[in-house]
Amino acid sequence: MAGKLLRGWVPGIDTALGYRRAWLVPDLRAGVVLTTLLIPVGIGYAEVAGLPPEAGLYATIIPVLAYAIFGPSRILVLGPDSALAPIIAVAILPLALGDTARAVALAGLLAIMVGLILLVGGLLRLGFVTDLLSKPIRVGYLNALALLVIISQVPALLGFSVDAESPFERVVAIVGGITGGEVDETAMLIGLGSLLVIIVLSWRKTRIPGVLAAVVGATALTAIFGLENELPVVGALPQGLPAPALGGLQWSDVAGLVLPAFGISLIAFADTAVLSRTFAARRGESVDGSQEMSAIGLSNIAGGLLGGFPISASSSRTPVAERAGARTQLTSVVGALLIVVFMLLAPGLTGYLPSAAIAAVVIVAAAGLVDAKGFLALVRMSRVDALLSLAAFVGVLVVGVIQGSRGGDHPVAGRLRQPRMATLSRGTRARARPARLSRSVQTPRG
């Protein structure tokens, strides 16, 4: 009985005991592919939240490892999120008063509070709310989310950035950037070339993952031809390992973060619930909503204790892992461990990774979220369900994902959600064009 209870609370035990040798190579390969996205997204959302770049990596490494142990989904990837980053910034920066160390401590406290709220909700079996998320709503949600993510990545694919809030404004800004000569030809060639490599290798089903080939090839070309100062690149990794950073906190800080903690908890669980159920259904599996809530809570607590900030499931990194062939959470664990290796041994390597190549990876992954067949099936079966799905699709496009102006979980999504890292490091050309973002992630904010 005790063993069964333990395995129920720690799904990672079941995964480990039932692990198949045939899964190992796909998991390892997918972990390498996933790492190329975990790094820039983690750094970028830390910048959006007003925190040092390394905080975004800590908020990726620790929660991923915790979820691999306690999470019920075998495919879900956790990490910093575009919906949460602006809220984190608004909650902690006024209390930090310009002190970076205090901002990191407050972000960690906020993550712990969010985690405790979700953990208590899971223990009280409040995860039943996921049953209210019907298939029509999930289909409409994911189709709209895929469109938002793809739109958000077009500027990075073409080597420029846009300043827009709504999807319509973003499309107008993209068209204006293209017609206004903002396209960077070198970045565009690398972006479109990466897109072509990923699609062709995926279509031919070769042993070489298309995403890995595109990222490695783009990085090599940038290094060989010295293009790191000619187009946006991810930038070098910061150095350091996760460590406690909760010094100087007071009880008044807890009171000041209560409302943001509840808001972030709601958004994090709602977003995670949709993704978890959707990907589980695609794999013929099921997840317990309450267990999912507890796992997200424990992951946030672990991240908050070791220099991170609140996180949730990722709607861009999860499909990348799935498309790369992930079988279990070992994929995420490999990704987290590779981040540590890079931070210790080769922090400068990502200084040659073009943002256009990352955009291509995210676009292909987002396209995999599109469920046109599912919507057509709804049309054939029930006009009411089809209209409900269409309403969810339009609602996400018009109002945003979860709370208004969110543009999907992606590295480039509107002014507040546009990590300085995702389109930075243009060197001399950046300084010649003030409207664009320049190198700013080489050293943490002071």
Three-state SS string across 293-360, please?
HHHHHHHHHHHHHCCCCCCEECCCHHHHHHHCCCCCCHHHHHHHHHHHHHHHHCCCHHHHCEHHHHHH
Sequence-distant (6+) residues with CB within 8 A of 168 are: none
Looking at the predicted structure, is the pLDDT value of residue 256 above 90?
yes
Q: Let me know how long the chain is.
A: 446
Find tokens 């990774």 and name the residue.
Answer: 353
Closest CA relative to residue 406, chosen from 268, 258, 257: 268
Of the two residues 160 and 43, the one the predictor is more confident about is 160
Looking at the predicted structure, is the pLDDT value of residue 316 above 60?
yes
Of the two residues 271 and 218, the one the predictor is more confident about is 218
Of the two residues 49 and 428, the one the predictor is more confident about is 49
- Give me 259's structure tokens: 């409302």
84: confidence class by pLDDT, cuts 50, 70, 90: confident
Looking at the predicted structure, is the pLDDT value of residue 424 above 60?
no
Give the pLDDT confidence score for residue 356 in this predicted structure: 92
The angle formed by the CA atoms of residues 386, 395 and 122, to the nearest 5 degrees, is 90
| DSSP three-state, residue 64 | helix
pLDDT tens digits, 276-312:
877 877 777 778 888 999 999 999 999 999 999 999 9
Per the prediction, the chain carries an average pLDDT of 82
| Mean pLDDT in residue range 343-350 | 86
| DSSP three-state, residue 248 | coil
Closest CA relative to residue 367, chosen from 78, 148, 189, 169: 148
CA dist., res. 214 & res. 194, Å (int): 5
Give the pLDDT confidence score for residue 245 in this predicted structure: 92
Closest CA relative to residue 214, chosen from 12, 378, 33, 89: 33
Sequence-distant (6+) residues with CB within 8 A of 382 are: none
The angle formed by the CA atoms of residues 206, 212 and 217, to the nearest 5 degrees, is 105
| Mean pLDDT in residue range 353-374 | 83
Helix 355-367 and helix 21-48: axis angle, to 10°?
Answer: 120
pLDDT tens digits, 386-410:
998 899 889 878 875 543 333 334 3
Closest CA relative to residue 323, chosen from 197, 209, 190, 435: 209
Closest CA relative to residue 356, chosen from 274, 432, 423: 423
Of the two residues 102 and 388, the one the predictor is more confident about is 102
- Give me 217's structure tokens: 């090839």
pLDDT tens digits, 34-63:
998 888 788 877 877 888 888 999 999 999
Give the pLDDT confidence score for residue 1 in this predicted structure: 53
Measured distance between the N- and C-terminal CA atoms of the chain, rounded to whole angstroms: 53
| Residue 50 and residue 92 in contact, taking contact as beta carbons nearer than 8 Å | yes
Give the pLDDT confidence score for residue 4 in this predicted structure: 59
pLDDT tens digits, 331-341:
999 999 999 99
Give the pLDDT confidence score for residue 271 in this predicted structure: 78
- Give me 280's structure tokens: 């589980």
The angle formed by the CA atoms of residues 316, 317 and 318, to the nearest 5 degrees, is 95
pLDDT tens digits, 172-189:
999 999 999 999 999 999
Percent of the chain surpassing pLDDT 90: 40
| Residue 390 and residue 140 in contact, taking contact as beta carbons nearer than 8 Å | yes
CA dist., res. 445 & res. 199, Å (int): 38
| DSSP three-state, residue 192 | helix
Of the two residues 203 and 79, the one the predictor is more confident about is 79
> Quick count: other Cβ atoms within 10 Å of Cβ 440?
15
CA dist., res. 173 & res. 25, Å (int): 42
The angle formed by the CA atoms of residues 434, 435 and 438, to the nearest 5 degrees, is 65
pLDDT tens digits, 26-36:
999 999 989 98
Pairing between strand 78-79 and 312-313? antiparallel
